[in-house]
Chains A and B, each alone.
Chain A
Amino acid sequence: MLEILLNHYPVLLEGLATTLVVSLSAIALGLVLGVLLAFGLTSRHGLVRWPCGLYRSFWRGTPILLQLLLVYYLLPEVGIEIAPISAAILTLTLNTAAFQSEIFRSGISHIPAGQIEAARMAGISSWQTRRRIIMPQVFRLTLPPLTNEIITILKNSSLISVIAVTELMRVSEQIASRTFQPLETYLAAALLYLAVNLVLALLSAHLERRMTGGLATD
């Protein structure tokens, strides 16, 4: 395994870089979409809530591999040419947004209604209340499940090799077929995935420790 890492580290790192670019872009874009969806899911208006619920059900309820293939093959059908890496980022974004929206929805439901009433009575608009009162607390409350989701997306990004994106998994497959050392190669890839996810988990634990002040609900 060490030999594989030493001999092929430039391509492995290149693959890892693609994995990180795709995953982190999807996580960041998915976070924005997930927050907006969570607002939709907690809206008082059925006309807003209902389509958001439908979206969440579809993207949570179908396999990510299928979603990937659907996006990759469907978009050219409607005249949108899209590079494999863009299709990968788009699919992972749409997928993680559904999961993140549910994480945020659950976080929002844990904020006592009285805190929102206090903001409204102070004249703070509902948008400002979301931005300044609700979401800062929701991000703190949901950091552990959010970290899980980030790690899941990073691991699921290995599936994008099926649409010919040369990320870490695909690079590993290529090395394995060239060297006839599949076990060593995939162990090396596993080590790299593990290393990145450990760093993410440590970062999250550090953030969680730093943000404990001022979270107790009254």
Chain B
Amino acid sequence: MPMADTLSPSSPPRQKSIVEAHGISKQFGDLEVLTDIDFSLAPSEVVCVIGPSGSGKSTLLRCLAFLEPYDHGSVYIDGQLLGYEDRNGKRVRTSEKRVDDVRAPVGMVFQHFHLWPHRTALENVTEALRLVNGLSRQEADTEGMAMLEQVGLSDRAGHFPESLSGGQKQRVAIARALAMKPRVMFFDEPTSALDPELVGEVLDVMKKLAADGMTMVIVTHEMGFAANVANRVIFMDQGRVVESGPPATLFRQPKSERLQQFLNTWRERNID
């Protein structure tokens, strides 16, 4: 795997972005999955990332969270470089603790929920409150119940994940991420693993979050949701950003042939 190069650009971002990425690239073996991506996210902005399978959109999100270390370029969270530091002019990986500290403002929701199956819904939400924030069980339970209330699941607090529906699991996962009071939420295809009739309940929670001003990056196949909720849509293909802009422009007047093709395929499939 190629080593991350020197900082480029060498200075932290100047504008008030919560998340900013410059020229990030990522390779898996010989396969280049991300090529020279620039990205920025302003407070309260909702950005949807769309694109065909294998276009690199999930990898982009994972690199922005440093769940996948990017090979080249820089990611800044609140102006702090994520995952690397400059030591004697050479870029080296930072400690896990430093990664945790820099990405503390970020909460993440995964396609397959990844709830902890040996913990109840409430315990899934309170685990980090107790371990990371040092809350007592009682304080954490009060906070956790408020989070479950927010996603409409306070009546499922004592249930283990195995007895929850997919939509409920995902809502618990959202509550778990929200409990840590993130300033930005990353969603990695949050509805892709759900039965169609369960998608709505998760999207409703996300819409409410957006309406409350939460800054969000959402990798999704839900074009309707992107059109209605996003401030900006990014279309990716083959590891590159092909087009980005307000959803109205992007969906109605796609400039690139690739996006037109992608939207046509999507329309055909949805009309069928």
Which residues does A use to contact B, with CB under 8 Å?
112, 114-115, 117-126, 128, 132-133, 136-137, 140, 213-218
Contact = CB atoms under 8 A, between A and B. Distances in A.
Interface residues of B, number: 32
25 contacts: A112-B114, A114-B110, A117-B108, A117-B114, A118-B108, A118-B110, A118-B115, A118-B173, A118-B176, A121-B67, A122-B127, A124-B127, A124-B131, A125-B96, A128-B131, A137-B118, A213-B160, A214-B117, A214-B160, A214-B162, A215-B117, A216-B160, A216-B162, A218-B114, A218-B117
B97 interface: yes
B92 to A, nearest CB: 15
Contacts of B51: none
Contact of A215 (B107, B114, B115, B162): B162
A115 B100 CA distance: 16
Contacts of B131: 124-125, 128, 132
B103 A218 contact: no
A84 to B, nearest CB: 42
Q: Main SS of chain A's interface residues?
A: helix
Given A137-B118, A214-B160, A217-B117, A122 B132 contact: yes
Nearest to A217: B117
Contacts, number: 87
Interface of B: 65, 67, 96-97, 100, 103-104, 106-108, 110, 112-120, 127-128, 131-132, 160-162, 169, 173, 176-177, 180
Nearest to B128: A122
Nearest to A123: B132
Nearest to A211: B118
